[in-house]
Amino acid sequence: MACILAPSLLAADFLHLGDDIDLINQSDAHWLHIDIMDGLFVPNISFGQTLLPFIRERSEKPLDVHLMIEEPSRYISQFAELGANVLTIHYEAERHVHRVIHAIKEKGMKAGLAINPHTSVDLLDDILEDVDLVLLMSVNPGFGGQKFIYQTIPKIRKLKTKAIERNLSFHIEIDGGVGLHNAEAILDAGADVLVAGSSVFSSDDPKATIEKFLAICSSFHSQ
Ligand code: DX5
Ligand code: ZN
């Protein structure tokens, strides 16, 4: 797989969620990205556990759940039961990151660790062996439709260098402001998972946009 595309449901039409999930099902996008916000860790509240069973039931794609909540350790078992396949917590929101990363894996999910734009990838040095995925926020979390923060590019390069030097194969996922205009630069820096919210769902033809993203993925990796 050249890269993993994870359309973010946050940008979908909430009055027609089923239709938008079907659109992803019918596409070659790989994961469905689900943003859970608590109004504390981020200044917004999205949706929570009551909606997850409906999404799980309808989606044929792995659910890539991004928890933007304080003390995510409280909810690991619940999200496992709700059918999350990848569960990502924020480094800034949890005191005992190592314990929670292992709790996620013990529940059979891939364990992801996210950092905000101001957080250095160097702070992850002692946990890189343990994670399946590192999510670099390329906007301040909480809202879709924001502008990509370009300082993310050197962060991706630095993290990818650490992975290569230490022979680690965790995914590097980029979330926020990802579009067709910057996907190649992001992949070129070393990322392999692209979250795309408004660039997919707010485009005139979401299916065609997904195909364009996937074409960038494969052309990049065949170079
Ligand atoms: C933002 C969320 C993102 C959001 C991305 O806090 O974590 O997943 O859906 O939206 P876009 O792609 O529109 O920036
Ligand atoms: Zn997200």
pLDDT single digits (tens) 132-186: 999 999 999 999 999 999 999 999 999 999 999 999 999 999 999 999 999 999 9
The side-by-side arrangement of strands in the sheet containing 4-7 is: 4-7, 193-196, 171-175, 133-137, 110-115, 86-90, 63-68, 32-37
Question: 35 in ligand 1 pocket by Cβ < 6 Å?
Answer: yes
Each residue's pLDDT tens digit in the chain (223 positions)? 589 999 999 999 999 999 999 999 999 999 999 999 999 999 999 999 999 999 999 999 999 999 999 999 999 999 999 999 999 999 999 999 999 999 999 999 999 999 999 999 999 999 999 999 999 999 999 999 999 999 999 999 999 999 999 999 999 999 999 999 999 999 999 999 999 999 999 999 999 999 999 999 998 754 4
Confidence (pLDDT) at 85: 98
Indicate whether residue 112 lines ligand 1 (CB < 6 A): no
C-alpha 11 to ligand 2 mean position (Å): 11
* Predicted pLDDT at 1: 58
Distance in angstroms between the alpha carbons of the first and the last residue of the chain? 14
Give me ligand 2 centre to Cα 215, in Å.
Answer: 22
Pocket of ligand 1 contains residue 136 by CB under 6 Å: no
User: Are 3 and 194 a contacting pair, CB within 8 Å?
Assistant: yes
% of the chain residues with pLDDT over 90 = 97
Quote the ligand 2 centre to 65 CA distance (angstroms): 8
Closest ligand 1 atom, residue 202 Cα: 13
Where do the domains of the chain lie, and which CATH numbers do they carry?
A: 4-222 (3.20.20.70)
Question: Global pTM?
Answer: 0.98
Catalytic, out of 20, 132, 175, 192: 175
